[in-house]
Structure 1
Amino acid sequence: MDDAALKEAITRILKDDVFVDIIRDQVRAAVDSAVAARDEEIEALKEELAETRAQLNGLEQYSRRLCLDVSGIPETPNEDTDRLVMDTARLAGVDVSKTDIDRSHRVGAVKPGRPRTLLVRFVSYAKREAFYGARRQLRQPRSFEGSTVTTAVASKVFVTDNLTRENQHILYRARQFRKEGKLFAAWSDVGKLKVRLRENGPTTVIRTMTDLQKLVNSAAERRKPQAPMETDGDGFRRVTRGNKSSAK
């Protein structure tokens, strides 16, 4: 077959609607397959990135295991933050000395009329836990002479875990869900975020915002009312499928 005949044959084939449909379907299938593979790869990369972020956040939170946030203590020029921590701890019934404190300082932006949070890092985990465990005693502080923190101030002081920015955001959202009645409780435990869907229910550890949202969504799905069971005149259960029904 010479070039002219071959060209004419190809032209006839390309004008054949059946052939065009076959080629179009094959091209469409190839494109759909490539897009699906790409989407799967992107989804896998997103999951890998999310897991990496969760692990990094966990490592950062672990590095703060000796730290506590103390909020509500008035801020003054040239203050001795170590002394403020020691006196606050003593008001809660815990003996904390200078040697127990690695470092302490204020954190956050200065806002008129609002004292910044005091961050303290302890030398030992045991001392950190002793102060944290006695934090509720500050509601009824034990006064002593020479304290730089008054009992009136101490009764309004809050001692909390020093959380990463990510964990602060997750815990804030969890507490919003609690206010909305979607959770029973949300709290942090040495940097681990924990929630309880109902009173006396199991405790769930939350690592990411996705974990929290899935838990809330799952609980909401379980709370949805079930469709009422229909029966026919003879008392048999009637199962509805679309617009059709059958008795069982």
Structure 2
Amino acid sequence: MDDAVLKEAITRVLKDDIFVDIIRDQVRAAVDSAVAARDSEIEALKEELAETRAQLNGLEQYSRRLCLDVSGIPETPNEDTDRLVMDTARLAGVDVCKGDIDRSHRVGAVKPGRPRTLLVRFVSYAKREAFYGARRQLRQPRSFEGSTVTTAVASKVFVTDNLTRENQHILYRARQFRKEGKLFAAWSDVGKLKVRLRENGPTTVIRTMKDLQKFVNSAAERRKPQAPMETDGDGFRRVTRGNKSSAK
């Protein structure tokens, strides 16, 4: 077969609609398969990245296990933040000395008329927990002479976990869900975020915003009312044709 004949045969085949359709379908299938594989790989990488971020956030939170945020104490020039912490703890009935404090300082931007939060890092977890566990005693502070923090101030002081920025965001959203009636409670426990759907229900630990949204969505699905059963005029369930088991 000479080149001219071969060329003419190929031209006829390429112009054939059936052949073109076959080639088009094969190309489309190959492209769809490649795109699907790429999308699957991208999704896997996204999940891996999200898990890595969650682990890094967990490690950062763990590094703060000895820290507490103390908010509501008026800020003054040249203040002794260690003394403020010690006096606040004593007002709550906990003895904290300078040796118990690794360091303390104000955090955040200065805002007129609003004191910045005081961050304190303790030397031991036991002392940190003693102060945190007695935080509610500040609602009825135990006054003593020479305190740099008045009982009026102490009664409005809040002692909370020192959370990462990500965990602050997650807890804020969880408390919004609580206000909307979608959760019964949301709180932090030594940096671990926990939620509860009902007053006496089980506690669930939340690691990511995705975990929180999934928990709320799952709870909403469980709370959906079932469709009312069709009944006849006397209140009995209507038996449909072909439903022999219902007629028994």
- Kindly state the Cα deviation for residue 241 of structure 1 after the two structures are TM-superposed: 13
| Cα distance change on mapping 1:141 and 1:67 into 2, 3 Å | same
* Contact 1:239 1:245 (C-alpha < 8 Å) held by counterparts: no
Tell me the alpha carbon deviations over residues 34-74 of structure 1, each in whole angstroms, 9 at most, x when there is no partner.
01100100000000000000000000000000000000000
Q: Distance between the aligned counterparts of 1:142 and 1:131, measured in 2?
A: 14
How many residue pairs align between the two structures?
248
- Kindly state the Cα deviation for residue 237 of structure 1 after the two structures are TM-superposed: 5.5
* Contact 1:237 1:247 (C-alpha < 8 Å) held by counterparts: no
Which structure carries more strand by proportion? 1
- Kindly state the Cα deviation for residue 2 of structure 1 after the two structures are TM-superposed: 1.3
| Cα distance change on mapping 1:187 and 1:17 into 2, 3 Å | same
Deviates more, 1:220-229 or 1:56-65: 220-229
Q: Is the aligned partner of 1:233 residue 2:233? A: yes
Deviates more, 1:167-176 or 1:6-15: 6-15
| Cα distance change on mapping 1:6 and 1:243 into 2, 3 Å | farther
* Contact 1:88 1:149 (C-alpha < 8 Å) held by counterparts: yes
Tell me the alpha carbon deviations over residues 171-209 of structure 1, each in whole angstroms, 9 at most, x when there is no partner.
000000000000000000000000001110000000000
Matches within 5 A, 1:138-149: 138-149=138-149
| Cα distance change on mapping 1:170 and 1:64 into 2, 3 Å | same
Q: Distance between the aligned counterparts of 1:130 and 1:194, measured in 2?
A: 21
| Cα distance change on mapping 1:239 and 1:47 into 2, 3 Å | farther
Q: Distance between the aligned counterparts of 1:2 and 1:140, measured in 2?
A: 106
User: 2:246 is paired with a residue of what secondary structure?
Assistant: strand
4+ runs deviating over 3 angstroms:
231-248
Q: Distance between the aligned counterparts of 2:218 and 2:239, measured in 1?
A: 25
- Please list every run of 5 or more consecutive structure 1 residues that lacks an aligned counterpart in the other structure: none
Deviates more, 1:237-246 or 1:193-202: 237-246
User: 1:102 is paired with a residue of what secondary structure?
Assistant: strand
Q: Distance between the aligned counterparts of 2:46 and 2:143, measured in 1?
A: 54
Q: Distance between the aligned counterparts of 1:212 and 1:241, measured in 2?
A: 45
Q: Distance between the aligned counterparts of 1:20 and 1:244, measured in 2?
A: 55
Q: Distance between the aligned counterparts of 1:48 and 1:70, measured in 2?
A: 36
Give the TM-score normalised by the residue count of structure 2. 0.94
- Please list every run of 5 or more consecutive structure 2 residues that lacks an aligned counterpart in the other structure: none
- Kindly state the Cα deviation for residue 26 of structure 1 after the two structures are TM-superposed: 0.6
Matches within 5 A, 1:62-141: 62-141=62-141
| Cα distance change on mapping 1:233 and 1:115 into 2, 3 Å | closer
* Contact 1:69 1:117 (C-alpha < 8 Å) held by counterparts: yes
Residue identity over aligned pairs, in percent, reads 97
* Contact 1:230 1:239 (C-alpha < 8 Å) held by counterparts: no
- Kindly state the Cα deviation for residue 221 of structure 1 after the two structures are TM-superposed: 1.1
| Cα distance change on mapping 1:232 and 1:121 into 2, 3 Å | same
- Kindly state the Cα deviation for residue 230 of structure 1 after the two structures are TM-superposed: 2.0
Give the TM-score normalised by the residue count of structure 1. 0.94
* Contact 1:178 1:184 (C-alpha < 8 Å) held by counterparts: yes
Query: In the alignment, which residue of structure 2 is the partner of 1:181?
Result: 181
* Contact 1:236 1:247 (C-alpha < 8 Å) held by counterparts: no
Deviates more, 1:152-161 or 1:20-29: 20-29
